[in-house]
Amino acid sequence: MTNITRKGKGASTTLEQAVLAAALGLALFIILTLIVFLGFQLLHLGRVYPGVSVGGVGLGGQTQSKATATLATQLTYTEQGRILLVDQDNTWAATPGQLGLFLDPQTSTQQAYQIGRSGSLGQRISDQFNGLRQGHQLMPNFVFDQRLAFQYLSTLASQHIDRPVIEPSLSIKGTQVIIHPGQSGRQLDINAALETISAQMETQQDGLITLPVVEPDPVILKVEQQAELARNILSQPLTLSMPPGETDQLGPWTFQPEDLASMLIFQRVDDDSSYYQVSLNYRILNDFLIRLAPSLQKDDQSTRFIFNDDTRQLEIIEQAVVGRTLDLQTSIDDIQQGVVELQHNIPLTFFYTNPPVTDEATTSSLGITELIHAETSYFYGSSAARIFNIALASSKMHGVLIAPGETFSMGSQLGEVSEETGYQEGLIIFGDSTIEGVGGGVCQVSTTLFRTAFFAGFPIPERYSHAYRVSYYEKNAANQINPDLAGLDATVFVPVIDLKFTNDTPYWLLMETYVNEASRKLTWKFYSTKDGRVVDWYTTGPINIVEAPKSVYRENPELEKGKVEQVDWEADGADVSVERTVYKDGEILFQDTFNTHYEPWRAIYEYGPGTEGMPPEDAEDEEED
């Protein structure tokens, strides 16, 4: 028993010693490993771990600054690489750097330095061990500045590649239509080129890139049809004419091919299919028609009648006139449409307006059944020119109709008084003198109308008297002055001074005028239907008389010696007030008063130079007067 115990103790001691030795060996190994690991870490403190390379450049054991310098020196792709850009037969070589590729050595070094220093401890040890065993290959970090690439490609395109689209066009030389052919354009697709270049530079290899170019065709493909249309337009003159049925002989207006050539335009139209529209220049056509329009216009005019006192029916003396105004826009549209339809004779278009009274009117429809008033004035002593003007002006009023409620304007009906409208020179009052002027005698007509409206009992909203008393307007049938006619004159000076009266009845009013040159009288007749009005009037006659100034004598170098002519006549100044009361059915319809002030007027004589006894000793001096 004792021997067995001893033997077992010896075996146990040997095992314990073996375990202890193994433990001491493991501890020593760990210590040595830690010493080696710590030494490895201390050795590479601030340095890239072994086995790490960027772009094939080994950086193991180098500090970050040295590694950065190494990369900047050895990675030369951006400066020495070559990218060939090809378009058709042209080739351009550019470095990646010219196209905006730049190496970022700092970032690349930082990424290399982080190998073995990021992640868990185990991850770090593994990365360090793998670097020693098989190495770490990293791609260098580049910056691609597309702005520089865009600028490079834009310059290249503008100088060597891009070509604008040229649309075919038409022009006129003389009367010949010329076709200018178009051509397709060329344009570098810069965005697509940037994508291709970027992909090539990622390989860090030289490469050949065919530049993507688009070739847009002209939008307008053919112009031959429009050219042929233009040639047909210019093959004949274009004539504008009045519409069928117009009786007045106006026009035609012809544009020769040379004129049309200067008006022809080709305007591009972009819709579903772009094309050139052939037309005439709107502005030129519009300006021509605007200038033409006034000569084509006709005011509508009611039929002119006279009342036959025997048959008591209306008789036409001048037919109604339908008003006509050029329809400018429709005429232009019709011309433009006609031209492209190869019409060479195109009628103008008008607006038409019917007059208030047409030829079909009757006494019953107008309410004109009888003579309601007639008035006569006398123009003894009038010159031939004055008589002519009286007849001309009164003819403008003969047969004129005035609607119920209408205010008649003599100035509007009379129109322009000038030599162009047929009037002759006669004596007129101008300023403070009586002078020769166109239209002398017209006031005989206005005075007669004023008296007719006055004694017929119509309202007279506008009337002006003469500056001084004119003997013509106060003479009676016996060629004597009737003072009661003072203040019953009226003057008209178109367009400033007018005479107006109102037909305030429910019936139309017809005016008739008759000039009897032999008897030197003008008779004015009003035809309508009497409504029972009666006129009562009172005149003060001339009062506040002021004697005429002394006569004035002045030399006229155009007169012969010994010749004396009177050019103005004296008249005393005066005031006249005429009151009128119009009754209807025994009641006052209205009352009015016409106050007239006449200036005292001097006589004026002219004499030829050297005329004996001129001026008389007691004559008024004109300058002092």
> Which pLDDT score, from 0 to 100, does residue 620 have?
64
User: Which residue did the predictor score with more confidence, 260 or 419?
Assistant: 260
Q: Which CATH number fits domain 225-353: 3.40.1360.10, 3.10.20.800, 3.40.462.20, 3.40.50.300?
A: 3.10.20.800
> Which pLDDT score, from 0 to 100, does residue 7 have?
46
Mean pLDDT of the chain: 89
Residues 6+ apart with CB under 8 A from 583: 533, 534, 535, 536, 589
Name the pLDDT band for 67 (thresholds 50, 70, 90): confident
Percentage of the residues of the chain whose pLDDT score is greater than 70: 94
Backbone angles phi, psi at 201, to 5 degrees: -70, -25
Q: How many CA atoms lie within 13 A of 565 on its CB side?
A: 12
> Which pLDDT score, from 0 to 100, does residue 220 have?
78
Q: Residue 322, Cβ neighbours under 10 Å: how many?
A: 14
Name the pLDDT band for 4 (thresholds 50, 70, 90): very low
CB 556 within 8 A of CB 600: no
Cα gap 317→306, rounded to integer Å: 7
> Which pLDDT score, from 0 to 100, does residue 6 have?
44
Q: Residue 119 pLDDT more than 90?
A: no
- Of 97-101, 287-291, 479-483, the range with the highest mean pLDDT is 287-291
> Which pLDDT score, from 0 to 100, does residue 616 have?
86
> Which pLDDT score, from 0 to 100, does residue 55 have?
84
CB 355 within 8 A of CB 303: yes
Q: Are strands 604-607 and 552-555 parallel, antiparallel or unpaired?
A: parallel
Q: Helix axis angle, 190-202 relative to 146-156, nearest 10°?
A: 130
Q: Residue 97, Cβ neighbours under 10 Å: how many?
A: 17
**What three-state secondary structure class fits 39?**
helix
User: Which residue did the predictor score with more confidence, 470 or 451?
Assistant: 451
User: Which residue did the predictor score with more confidence, 499 or 246?
Assistant: 499
> Which pLDDT score, from 0 to 100, does residue 375 have?
97
Q: Which two tokens stand for residue 205?
A: 């290899």
Residue bearing tokens 């305007």: 267
Cα gap 318→361, rounded to integer Å: 13
> Which pLDDT score, from 0 to 100, does residue 518 have?
93
Cα Rg of the chain (Å, integer): 58
The stretch 502-519 carries a mean pLDDT of 97
Q: Residue 625 pLDDT more than 60?
A: no
For residue 58, list its beta bridge partners. 53
> Which pLDDT score, from 0 to 100, does residue 298 have?
93
Residues 588-603 pLDDT 10s: 999 999 999 998 888 8
DSSP conformation letters of 130-189: HHHHT-EEEPPPEEE-HHHHHHHHHHHIIIII-B--B--EEEEETTEEEEE--B--BEE-
The stretch 519-534 carries a mean pLDDT of 96
